[in-house]
């Protein structure tokens, strides 16, 4: 779970500390991408690309 604590930045909770740290790192990297790609037009993955990702990493 990710939330905002006003002026204190994001708050991340998880089942254990390791999972919370991982979630915080993922949030930080996603925020970096948002800043870097702000003015760019997104390109959606094709169905074939999504299928390939599911084959490699599993479907959640």
pTM of the model: 0.58
| CA angle (35, 27, 45) in 5-degree steps | 70
Backbone φ and ψ of 12, nearest 5°: -120, 130
CA-CA distance, 12 to 19, in Å (whole number)? Answer: 9
The mean pLDDT value for 4-14 works out to 77
CA-CA distance, 34 to 43, in Å (whole number)? Answer: 14
More confident residue, 6 or 50: 50
Exposed / middle / buried, residue 14 (Cβ in 10 Å: 0-12, 13-18, 19+): middle
Percent of the chain whose pLDDT exceeds 70: 90
Residue carrying structure tokens 């959640």 = 60
Percent of the chain whose pLDDT exceeds 90: 60
More confident residue, 12 or 49: 49
């Amino acid at each position: 779970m990710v939330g905002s604590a006003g002026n204190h930045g994001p708050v991340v909770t998880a089942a254990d500390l390791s999972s919370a740290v991982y979630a915080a790192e993922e949030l930080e990297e996603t925020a970096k991408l948002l800043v870097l790609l702000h003015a760019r037009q997104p390109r959606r993955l094709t169905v074939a690309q999504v299928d390939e990702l599911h084959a490699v990493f599993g479907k959640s």
